[in-house]
Amino acid sequence: MTCKIVAQTGLAAGLLGILLVGGVASAGDVSRGALLASHCETCHGMGGKGAMPNPAINGMDVADMVDIMKAFASKEESSTMMYRHAQGYTEEELKMMAEYLKGK
Amino acid sequence: MQDMNRRDFIRLLGATGAVSGLTVMGIPTAVLAKASGKVIVVGGGFGGATCAQYLKRWGPDIDVTLVERESKYVTCPFSNEVLAGDLPMDKITFSYDGLKAKGIKVITDEVTGVDAGSKKVTLKGGDSMSADMVVLSPGIKFIYGRVENDDKVAESMPHAWKAGPQTLLLRKQIEAMKDGGTVLILPPPKPFRCPPGPYERASLIAHYLKNNKPKSKIIIVDSNESHSKQKSFHAGWKHLYGMGEGKMIHWIKETEGGKIEKVDPSTMTVTKEFGDKFKGDVINFIPYQKAADLVHKAGLTNKDGWCDVHQDTFESKVAKGVYVLGDACVAGAMPKSGHSANSQAKNCAAAIVSKLAGQEMPTPTYANTCYSLISPDFGISVAAVYGFKEGSIKKIAAGVTPPHPKEKDRFYKNEAKYAKGWYNSITMDMFG
Ligand SMILES: Cc1cc2nc3c(=O)[nH]c(=O)nc-3n(C[C@H](O)[C@H](O)[C@H](O)COP(=O)(O)OP(=O)(O)OC[C@H]3O[C@@H](n4cnc5c(N)ncnc54)[C@H](O)[C@@H]3O)c2cc1C
């Protein structure tokens, strides 16, 4: 099983390489993660890079982001605003936005 | 590669979990897609400016033109702070230079007509232009005739419900008022732009009066029987200013005497349906509202004067390829706010970019937050996340700041602080 995944990942990466080299990777696309994260950028600045005094949320480890968002939602981590937004997303959605923001 | 189509390729990436990996690297997921075409956006406010920005960001090859009547945009958010003398006007005024720098064509002119069939937009200057898609976010217009004399009081009883000269006029009148005077605030029946707006306004005027004219009073003569964030506003008023008859803020709901029937600028009085009369030294009459003229003339409004749209894409229900955003549209459970318009604009941009690239749009997702300052250091808010279910926008999670003193004082202070962060961020999203 593990082997198969590794093999497929390798194949996909290879294909991506071809596409990039061929210059086919072009503009004009919006992923689910980008759309989700754009709703965080409203308060956390472009690319989640912060907007005084709201903190930067870019470049965070995906697991850490999902963890703190779940903690906001359960109010284990106290917040004035975040608990209400964090409660609105599934774990899968949190992962997608976290992955997008990590690369910013 | 030739014998593998795009969907297969994406499926393969998806199977390996590499799809998300690609976005991490900043590489678009659907590497074979290319969105191109021409889109005209009309209205450079919360909906329109955001939509133009995100069309360009997600579809750099799309030819995006923004048409806006004014050369500068003054935000309604934080205009109550200007009204109360806490902020100068230039701090809430923005140019479109940031959009131009990103390759968005910005035309300063009024759109006089939109032909929904041919996607042709006509300008006041006489020119016209066509596009593949047209996005309209023209905001609201005031409708007159529901209250006697309501069309004659824009100068004597300024609405200040579109930020700009009206804000400064009302500010001047409040400044000129004697200590011991009465300010009347008259909110229209729902739905109107910014449901908490009139109550934030009462709060910040109270803050000014408390410090400068402490014998003065504010009476909110409401045409509604309840209002946004009611418990939290009332607790804040009691805490900071005093609330009730004879106190600094007195709120009179619709059920006490009915809606407003008449405003009289010669005597500066307001009469309710069942005869109650109020006299004000300063009167803020906020007129009834509908979607802006542009969408009426284009035949896009329903019987109530708002635009019905498919709430995932914001495409008009009566005109294909024409999209309506923001205050002008009917957006399920979302209130008419700048944050809502911004969120709608992102979904609309995602729908258009995807369509021009021949893809399905990602699952829509929406959010709103309305901060209100009860004083410059005391904030409350309402926030919600929404999803698209059974054809309309429905709430998934939501919450209002608990009424004082349920939280510690620093909570309300932090909300006031983060309200500024929200403003800095959302205006960067639109104009940066
Ligand atoms: C006092 C007050 C306080 C508020 N505070 C908040 C807040 O704290 N948070 C919040 O989220 N919301 C707030 N709002 C609400 C917010 O301002 C609106 O919901 C928001 O502006 C709606 O965006 P829009 O794009 O629909 O319209 P607008 O922002 O009004 O933009 C419409 C634009 O279209 C242009 N236009 C119209 N017709 C034409 C035409 N024919 N040709 C060319 N251009 C045209 C107009 O000039 C305007 O620039 C507040 C509102 C008020 C009145």
- Residue A29 is predicted with a pLDDT of 73
Which DSSP helix (H) or strand (E) runs through A17? helix A2-21
Chain centre distance of CA B238:
28
Contact list in B for residue A48 (CB cut-off 8 A) is: none
Q: Name which of B135, B132, B138, B134 is nearest B110 in CA terms.
A: B138
The pLDDT tens digits of the residues spanning B267-282 come to 999 999 999 999 999 9
Helix (H, G, I), strand (E, B) or coil at B45: coil
Report whether B284 contacts B173 (CB < 8 A). no
pLDDT at B367 over 50: yes
Which of A28, A32, A99 comes nearest B59 by C-beta?
Answer: A28
Site to probe by mutation for ligand 1, drawn from B203, B327, B347, B370 as the one with most ligand atoms within 8 Å of Cβ, is B327
Which structure tokens are listed for B312?
């995932």
pLDDT at B24 over 90: no
Residue recorded with tokens 């006299």: B279
Residue B13 and residue A38: Cβ atoms within 8 Å? no
Rg (CA), chain A: 17
pLDDT at B237 over 50: yes
Sign of CA dihedral B154, B159, B161, B163: positive
Q: Within the 376-405 window of chain B, which residues sit less than 8 Å (CB to CB) from chain A?
A: 381, 383-386, 396-399, 401
Which structure tokens are listed for A91?
């774990």
Residue A45 and residue B428: Cβ atoms within 8 Å? yes
> What is the Cα–Cα distance from B320 to B361, expressed in whole angstroms?
16
Sign of CA dihedral B158, B160, B166, B170: positive
Residue B1 and residue A11: Cβ atoms within 8 Å? no
Cα(B140) to centroid of ligand 1, in Å?
A: 7
Mean pLDDT within A30-58 = 97
State the Cα torsion A74-A80-A82-A87 to the nearest 10°. 40
Which DSSP helix (H) or strand (E) runs through B14? helix B6-16
The pLDDT tens digits of the residues spanning B110-142 come to 999 999 999 999 999 899 999 999 999 999 999
Chain centre distance of CA A99:
3
- H-assigned helices in B177-318: 197-212, 230-240, 293-297
Residue B396 and residue A88: Cβ atoms within 8 Å? yes
CB pairs under 8 A between A and B: 192
Q: Return the bridge partners of B115, or none.
A: B120
Mean pLDDT within B414-424 = 98
Report whether B228 contacts B263 (CB < 8 A). no
The conformational region for residue B332 under phi > 0 = left, psi -120 to 50 = alpha, else beta, is: left
pLDDT at A16 over 60: no
> What is the Cα–Cα distance from B47 to B45, expressed in whole angstroms?
6
What chain A holds in terms of domains, given with CATH numbers, is: 1-26 (no CATH), 31-102 (1.10.760.10)
Q: Sorting pLDDT into bands at 50, 70 and 90, what band is A28? A: low
Q: Name which of B356, B358, B380 is nearest B369 in CA terms.
A: B380
The pLDDT tens digits of the residues spanning B64-98 come to 999 999 999 999 999 999 999 999 999 999 999 99
Q: Can you tell me the ipTM of this complex?
A: 0.90
Which DSSP helix (H) or strand (E) runs through B105? strand B105-108
- Residue B35 is predicted with a pLDDT of 87
Q: Name which of B175, B168, B245 is nearest B212 in CA terms.
A: B175
A5 or B78: whose pLDDT is higher? B78
Contact list in A for residue B64 (CB cut-off 8 A) is: none
> What is the Cα–Cα distance from B193 to B327, expressed in whole angstroms?
6
> What is the Cα–Cα distance from A102 to A104, expressed in whole angstroms?
6
Helix (H, G, I), strand (E, B) or coil at B207: helix
Site to probe by mutation for ligand 1, drawn from B107, B142, B194 as the one with most ligand atoms within 8 Å of Cβ, is B194
Q: Sorting pLDDT into bands at 50, 70 and 90, what band is B34? A: confident
pLDDT at B219 over 60: yes
Cα(B339) to centroid of ligand 1, in Å?
A: 10
Angle between helices B338-356 and A32-44 (to 10 degrees): 150
The pLDDT tens digits of the residues spanning A71-85 come to 999 999 999 999 999
Cα(B51) to centroid of ligand 1, in Å?
A: 14
Q: Which residue, among B229, B425, B426, B427, would best test binding to A if mutated, counting the most A CBs under 10 Å from its CB?
A: B425
The angle at the Cα of B413, spanning A101 to B400, to the nearest 5 degrees, equals 70
What's the predicted TM-score (pTM) here? 0.91
Contact of B54 with chain A, judged by CB distance below 8 Å, is answered with yes
> What is the Cα–Cα distance from A39 to A41, expressed in whole angstroms?
5
- Residue B21 is predicted with a pLDDT of 39
Summary mean pLDDT of chain B: 93
The pLDDT tens digits of the residues spanning B161-218 come to 999 999 999 999 999 999 999 999 999 999 999 999 999 999 999 999 999 999 999 9
Mean pLDDT within B322-351 = 98
Using CB atoms within 10 Å of the CB of residue A23, give its burial: 0 to 12 exposed, 13 to 18 middle, 19+ buried.
exposed
> What is the Cα–Cα distance from A60 to B272, expressed in whole angstroms?
57
